[in-house]
Amino acid sequence: MTMHRRSFLSAAALAGLFAALPRAIAGAFGYPRALQGPMVGAPGPEHFTVWVRASGAFEVALEYATDRDFRAVVQGPRAMAGAAEDGCVVLRAEGLRPDTPYWYRLKYDGVADRFQPLPHRTRTAPAGAADFRVAFGSCCRIQYDADQRIWNTVRALEPDMFLWLGDNIYADSDQPAAIADLYARGRTVERLEPLLRSIPQLATWDDHDFGYNDSDGLSPYKAESLRIFRRFWANPAYGEPDNPGVYFRQHYGGVDFFVLDGRYHRDPTDRPDNAGKTMLGARQKAWLKRELKASRTPFKVLAIGGGWSSAENEKGGDSWAVFMTERNELFDFIRDEGIGGVVCVSGDSHMGELNCIPWSERGGYDIYDFCSSPLAQLPAAKHTRQAPEVRVRDVWTRSVNVGLLRFDMTADTPTLTYTLHDELGEAVWDPLVLTPADLANGVRSWDRKADPEELRRLQRFRQGKGYYGFDPVEGWPDRPYYGEE
């Protein structure tokens, strides 16, 4: 008993000694620094946003300048990192010049991070129409691929913004510590770090970062998942004040991006597909309709985790293909309100896809869906049993991939060019080029834009034969789906 008491007193005295040490000496035992980050978040013409996770409960300060040597340093915002947010803070530099490069650095409890002695550079968004690039992808499983060579390609494509379209981690857990650990591990991938520190990163989620595989709005853990998601991303918004979620609108270079939440308010996929079944929830859907009507940009991008086409209308599917009534309601709304320029992007399928929903046959215009998946996960070959409305390009299943949207909003005729790139950076199919004239009511474009081979396959399929030359067998296409997306 006496020995235990002496040990306790010695430990208490040692702790008191550490508390009294000057900062310079105490630093040898553990100095303030970044555990993960920094990462650039939501952009704007007059601001940039920085996320970082600090190593302790202390002040984090942002400094920036227009030159690398910080000859005219500006003291930016400060925030206290604390245990409640696991050390994560978001700092926003404001009052900046549009479309201008800025160098920035962070100080932790008044000192620089000795592991990051060099400053980082980012750029504010343009104030008006611009020529810019947006890369996107989904399904990034560090347990499968810790190296992630795809980020070499992404950096070489020089995007101005990156969209994470779900399954950004594969947590598959209801434990906050497990989810946070996967986010933290993902932020220290060596090839990814330079991209995080320089290019705005925006994100939505899908099932594996929301909860378990195929999880939906009935999940009892969803509020905690949202809390951790908000902690590790720096989006411009998270739903609405009275309607939680991860959806938001981001403007960049003359284009509106509507990033949607397909999980928090989702009904179970096995419910009958009728007007009562929803993926978005009533409030998010009303928000989307309202924001689309208010948008005046030539292109409007709808981004979500699961594909927009009918391809995954099969057992085990959880994309828009099993929420067709609500999807069609949205497309009818776009047609009836005369909202032009809508295109879609998605992820989840473990395939690179370029599909089209021919709404020109219903008095609207053709809706294109660009899918990039996976970034770091095993590709799949499910397309042999799936049938979207129209395949514009052949499915890519040979490697991981990343999608690229190239907008030229400065020309007399704005253009959107879509390409998909493999791990080496090669474009895997011919670009698809769209103009606002292609995306206006009454215009049919899908048969002009699709590859001739895909048109021949579609004709064969509509004759009751197999799309890829293999005629259907009994039970097709309702075979069970095995595996996770």
User: Are the C-beta atoms of 235 and 242 separated by less than 8 Å?
Assistant: no
Among residues 299, 439, 442, the alpha carbon closest in space to that of 360 is found at 442
Averaged in consecutive runs of 10 residues, what is the pLDDT profile of the chain (485 residues)?
Answer: 37 39 42 97 98 97 97 97 96 98 98 96 98 98 97 98 98 95 98 98 98 96 98 98 98 98 97 97 98 98 98 91 98 98 98 98 98 96 90 97 98 97 98 98 98 96 86 53 44
Q: What is the pLDDT of residue 476?
A: 53
Paired tokens of 177:
């510590």
Q: Domains plus CATH for the chain?
A: 34-123 (2.60.40.380), 131-462 (3.60.21.70)
Sign of the Cα pseudo-torsion (278, 283, 288, 293, in order): positive
Among residues 298, 309, 305, 401, the alpha carbon closest in space to that of 354 is found at 309
What span, in angstroms and rounded, lies between the C-alpha atoms of 245 and 231? 13
- Report phi then psi at 153, rounded to 5: -65, -45
CA distances from 164 to 214, 303, 383 (A): 18, 9, 23
Q: What is the pLDDT of residue 384?
A: 85
Q: What is the pLDDT of residue 424?
A: 97
Q: What is the pLDDT of residue 64?
A: 98
The widest CA-to-CA distance across the chain, in whole angstroms, is 90
Q: What is the pTM of this model?
A: 0.92
Pairing of strands 34-40, 415-422: unpaired
